[in-house]
A and B are shown apart, each in its own frame.
Chain A
């Protein structure tokens, strides 16, 4: 789907291109028609000449479609309009008010071409050198325009035309001097631009040269031919046909180089997207730098990561950054988080600086992935923290149960037993003294106390069976099963003692599962199997009841699952309706909270 605004823009641009092409062709055809057959150029040259603006027009379309920068496309359209054939004066020569205006801008195409080269590849003028060149060119063009309008008279240097209506003085020497000076300045500027591009290209890393070379070569060819033409013009000799043909081809190749270069950068941006994808998958640092080098087609790329502890930049292998020579062929791109915390330095080929958008993409990718990594590790850290604290809570719960049982055992239970002993002595004494009623009352108290002790014993046992502390699962689970009203078959193959937290977690889970069997399952048989598989205690509690148990039916199953989970284990519930319930618990014998990533991530 195309947005209406975008559609309108495309229509408008197409119209502009079509209009410019029509105007250019009209000028070409009109000039051709007005030229006597004998004086016409060779057909091939005229065809080539007419094709140059078509190439520019086509490239303008491409530039508009690819880049957000408007200037290159506009310059290319301007070129199409300003590509004025010399034959045009045969058409407009009789219009004394018109031809001087055309004559004043008929070298505008050269200026436009020069600026187009200058704005490559960023689409705008950057740096003092570029602005100076453009300023000089435009100033010279303005002076030349005024010179033509105010001083040009019909003649061999201009055309066999009607008198110039704007002419203020008849000063052919002034006109000729300025006219020639303008051409020489133009050639000089063209050579300067070409030389600058050439130097830039020679300094560039191999990948950057591959496409960028088109531009300076074309420009150099054009500047050379321009110089030759200027010389022939100044010396009023006829230019060589070969030279003129080369010149046309050179000019036509400028916009082609331009859009080719832009597309290249665009491909690079696509590769930045690849880079984003790679980094999102949590690649390590070494791999990231490798992918970056691939993305930028620059094997000399180095990435130095900021190390908060050591307060410096280090590469992936931990080697500290050396002094980066920023005056050489490399530039350094610092990447920092939105809060200004340094992340990394990317040392890259200087030529990549021309493509700020690409580098922006790269730093965004890095920033994003570092942020992601940071979030990920933060979540992992938090999760680990929660996991550990949960385990500590469970352990503290077990410890508390044990302590309560012990306090009861050493405190209340001992005292009550001792009290029973005292009551017994008192009862015996009362009987000895013949106080039957007191003796009977004391007997009743002793019986009450025995019942109380029995209840207390059960309570303490339920809180934490001493049998578990003393004998482990091998003793405690059979005892537990013995209390279950449903007959339970036991197979405990856990030789020796397991870690306390494992034993008590397993014990209370089995206790609750057997309580479920008794209360909810309507089973007539049950099975408890405990065995060690590798480094796990595997407990299977099964019954032949009605099944249909779930983790959210208030049967305490979720609580069991939570406690198993807290010690790093898992609970598997299989309970199809009508086919019994099987609960499989797996508890690691050595709970290891460490599960460090195997490779260094983007974030330490």
Chain B
């Protein structure tokens, strides 16, 4: 914890709704994060990231000018210019297709429902995770994916415990995070993870975000 006091995370926020922009700012600041800028569009955010030392960008997906997927477009252009800063996208809707696109942009990315601002710890932790190069996927998205019906349901082969582990994997948790959340030993989790990957025919990837993406893709596949 001593590190954080020395250099708090520097975050830039972009949301066209002033109310939420300020709310997010307040929540983050309450969580010990320094908000260096709060802007209304993706372009402004890119400008802020270019001219400031920023660790994480927190972005609304739907922003002016077309109110479609400006946030993800901003993420993709950040990655295209080689920026490796953490990017956390916020959305009113839990859309698996967006989550896949966000994970597809690489490590240090996250996708959360906007209403998580009323769970300060979740939001702050997500910011910290993406700053560390981890990935975050909103549990609501994972739930939707798991709920999806399949003709040949690969999840049927999993035990209940494995299923819980898989859901946390999909949300972007590392093995350590899963162990912590489920009160299991790290070894146990690693065993579960191996078993899951084997049952679902997935390769263990050295890169964390590839694992998340693989799991999400599997869940989304039909």
> Is A457 part of the binding interface, using a Cβ–Cβ cutoff of 8 Å?
yes
Contacts of A420 in B (CB 8 A): 115, 117-118
| Alpha-carbon distance between A425 and B222 when the two chains are bound, in angstroms | 42
Stretch from A272-280, A478-486, A547-555, A578-586 contacting the other chain: A478-486
Q: Are B97's CB and A457's CB within 8 A?
A: no
For residue A396, CB closer than 8 A to chain B, the reply is no
Contact assessment for B115 and A485 in the assembled complex, using a CB-CB cutoff below 8 Å: no
9-residue interface stretch from B17-25, B168-176, B205-213 = B17-25
Q: Is B117 a contact of A421 with CB atoms below 8 Å?
A: yes
Give the complex CA separation of A280 and B95 in angstroms: 60
Say whether B149 contacts A421, CB under 8 Å: no
Shortest beta-carbon distance from B86 to chain A in Å: 22
Question: Chain A's interface: helix, strand, loop or mixed, by majority?
Answer: helix
State how many residues of chain A have any CB contact under 8 Å with chain B: 42
Q: A486-504 vs B: 1/0 string, CB under 8 Å?
A: 1111100000000000000
In this complex, the interface size class of chain B, counting residues with CB under 8 Å from chain A, is 20 to 34
CA distance A306 to B95 in the complex (A): 65
Closest residue on chain B to residue A420 by CB atoms: B118
Q: Given A420-B118, A446-B118, A461-B93, check contact A415 B144 (CB 8 Å).
A: no
A466–B62 touching, CB < 8 Å = yes
Segment 448-473 of A: residues with Cβ below 8 Å from B: 449-450, 453, 457, 460-461, 465-467, 469-471
Q: Which residue on B lies nearest to A424, using beta carbons?
A: B118
Mask for A403-447, Cβ within 8 A of B = 1, else 0? 000100110011111101101110010000000000000000010
Q: Does A297 contact B (CB under 8 A)?
A: no
Q: How far is the CA of A485 from the CA of B151 in the complex (A)?
A: 10
Residues of A within 8 A of B (CB): 406, 409-410, 413-418, 420-421, 423-425, 428, 446, 449-450, 453, 457, 460-461, 465-467, 469-471, 475, 478-479, 481-490, 525
Could you show 7 A-B contacts with beta carbons less than 8 Å apart? Answer: A417-B114, A420-B117, A421-B118, A424-B117, A457-B93, A469-B67, A485-B149
Proximity bits, B114-157, A CB within 8 Å = 1, else 0: 11011110000000000000000000000011001111000000
Residue of B whose beta carbon sits closest to that of A411:
B17
The reply to whether B19 and A424 contact each other, CB–CB distance below 8 Å, is: no
Evaluate contact between B148 and A482: CB separation under 8 angstroms.
Answer: yes
Nearest chain B CB to A416 CB, angstrom units: 8
Q: Which of A406, A417, A424 has the most CB of B within 10 A?
A: A417
Q: Which of B69, B96, B118 contacts A482, CB < 8 Å?
A: B96
Which residues of chain B in 46-97 are interfacial with respect to chain A, using CB atoms and an 8 Å cutoff? 62, 67-69, 92-97
Inter-chain CA distance A453–B95, complex, in Å, is 15
**CB pair B115 A453 closer than 8 Å:** yes
